[in-house]
Amino acid sequence: MRISSHQAQQGAINAMLEQQEKLAKVQKQVATGQKIFRPSEDPVAAAKIVKLHDILGTNKQYQDNIAAARARLNLEEGVLDNVTGVLQRVRELAVLANNDTQTNESRASIAEEVDQLRDELVGLANSMDSTGEFLFAGSRSRFRPFTRNENGEYDYHGDDAQRYLQIGPRRQIATSDSGTTVFRDIRDGNGDFTVLDHPDNRGSGIADPGNIVGQYDQGTYAIVFETYDPAANGGSGDPYLSYSVIDAQGNVIRPAGTPYASKAAIQFAGVVTSIEGQPEPGDFFVIRPSYRQDMFTTVQQLAEALRIPRGDEVSRAKLHNEVNRVIAGLDQALGNVLDVRASVGARLNALDGQESINEGYSLQVREILSDVEDLDYAKAVSELNLKLTGLEASQKAFTRVQGISLFNYI
């Protein structure tokens, strides 16, 4: 077969170009540190690389969500710390005012500070984050959660939902607590029941908030005081102040004739309380299940009670009963805020744990990705030298062959 000089030269050029292309590819690999530049070079590895990069991108979003959740929860923790401080100050003022050495004027001054603390509390409840969203409005974060209406009551415009962020493949974390959970869902009294003095009481009886000693049936009861005459009931002795206990249907739980003693325990239906002072016959105290009440109303009730002039023992007893109920309500509010803070702290710890898990997972994925995507430099440099040597040999062969001609032998 005859091969023309042109064919020989073109074949040699094509061979050199092929060597140059291979050399360029190895040079690019060495320069970038990557083995694959087009999916067609290794479809299986290319698909795996895409999947691994998607995993890393998703994991990065989880880490970004953790950072956002941590910032929001830290902000909430700071607000709750301030709420705790305000409630503790209100409680200190309540204890200070609940003293017979205070005058009407001094209690009115204390009420002014209580008003300021109530407004501060409402301001904290309406706190916003850096994006202008309200912390305690639930999912309705663009609406101011608490406003005071014309009746002096506090309306809630949020909802009871919690906002969540995905922080792992199968894990979400709550980044908020609703205004109901923090500020409204608080039981008055001791959390189980409340002891109320009747407004028409004429004695100086002061009720203790009481506590549970058994299975309280959530019933409503009345402790009724009356003068008991043993002689009129078939006995002997002088008349004395006694009490009876009846339920809401009028059923007698404890019959009349039980002697009354100041501060002595009064126990029935799973509850125990006591009355201090001297009730008058006809006075009574009601025990009912605890209702839910927002902490703003509790603080406001203290200010209102302190503004009423108290000039005799009976009115001072009413004050002590009112303030005692407020103090019990403040204790419930403080306990509720403490529970929410504990929940926030637990969620912050969960974020730290999940962040470590995500970091470890990302490290594993990067190691796998490196095995698939990254270049083996020792092997690549050796191949580069081999390709370079091959190209140089091809170029030298082309130079020598190009100088060969039949006319040199004629």
- Nearest CA to 41 out of 373, 386, 382 is that of 373
Long-range Cβ pairs for the range 364-371 (8 Å, 24+): 365/52, 365/55, 365/56, 365/59, 366/56, 368/52, 369/49, 369/52, 369/53, 369/56
User: For residue 293, is pLDDT > 80?
Assistant: yes
Read off the tokens for 4: 């023309």
User: For residue 404, is pLDDT > 60?
Assistant: no
> In this structure, are 107 and 252 located in the same domain?
no
The answer to the question of residue 98 being in a domain is: yes
The predicted-structure confidence for 50-100, as pLDDT tens digits, reads as follows 788 788 899 999 999 999 999 999 999 999 999 999 999 999 999 999 998
Q: What is the CA radius of gyration of the chain?
A: 42
What residue numbers bound the domain in which 367 lies?
A: 36-191+292-374
219: helix, coil or strand? coil
Q: How confident is the model at residue 376 (pLDDT cuts 50, 70, 90)?
A: very low
> In this structure, are 210 and 151 located in the same domain?
no
User: 221 phi and psi, to 5 degrees?
Assistant: -135, 160
The answer to the question of residue 399 being in a domain is: yes
> In this structure, are 179 and 305 located in the same domain?
yes
Q: Read out DSSP for 135-193? A: TTSTT-TTS--EEE-TTS-EEE-S-S---EEEEETTEEEE----HIIIII--BSTTSSE
The answer to whether 49 and 35 have CB atoms below 8 angstroms apart is: no
For the stretch 279-292, what's the b/e string if a residue is b when 16 or more beta carbons lie within 10 angstroms of its beta carbon? beeebbbbbbebee
> In this structure, are 93 and 226 located in the same domain?
no
User: For residue 36, is pLDDT > 80?
Assistant: no
- The CA–CA distances, whole Å, from 336 to 45, 51, 227, 368, 390 equal 56, 47, 42, 48, 80
- Burial class of residue 205 (count of CB atoms within 10 Å of its CB; 0-12, 13-18, 19+): buried
User: 345 phi and psi, to 5 degrees?
Assistant: -60, -40
User: For residue 221, is pLDDT > 70?
Assistant: yes
The predicted-structure confidence for 148-168, as pLDDT tens digits, reads as follows 998 888 999 999 999 999 999
Identity at 61, one-letter amino acid code: Q
The percentage of the chain sitting over the pLDDT mark of 70, rounded to a whole number, equals 79
- Nearest CA to 302 out of 90, 89, 132, 85 is that of 90
> In this structure, are 148 and 249 located in the same domain?
no
Average pLDDT of 112-117? 97
Q: How confident is the model at residue 341 (pLDDT cuts 50, 70, 90)?
A: very high
Read off the tokens for 401: 């062959």
The answer to the question of residue 382 being in a domain is: no
> In this structure, are 162 and 102 located in the same domain?
yes
- Count of domains observed in the chain: 3
User: For residue 11, is pLDDT > 60?
Assistant: no
254 pairs with which residues across the strands?
245
Read off the tokens for 76: 């909430």
Please say which residue of 240, 256, 289 terminates a domain: 289
> In this structure, are 217 and 79 located in the same domain?
no
The answer to the question of residue 57 being in a domain is: yes
> In this structure, are 49 and 147 located in the same domain?
yes
Mean confidence (pLDDT) of the chain: 85
Please say which residue of 236, 257, 289 terminates a domain: 289
> In this structure, are 219 and 171 located in the same domain?
no
The answer to the question of residue 406 being in a domain is: yes
The answer to the question of residue 384 being in a domain is: no
The answer to the question of residue 379 being in a domain is: no
Please say which residue of 242, 259, 289 terminates a domain: 289
> In this structure, are 312 and 174 located in the same domain?
yes
Tokens 């406003």 sit on residue: 147
> In this structure, are 64 and 179 located in the same domain?
yes
The predicted-structure confidence for 171-204, as pLDDT tens digits, reads as follows 999 999 999 999 999 999 999 999 999 999 999 9
> In this structure, are 307 and 370 located in the same domain?
yes
281: helix, coil or strand? coil
The answer to the question of residue 111 being in a domain is: yes
User: For residue 5, is pLDDT > 90?
Assistant: no
The predicted-structure confidence for 257-280, as pLDDT tens digits, reads as follows 899 999 999 999 999 999 999 999
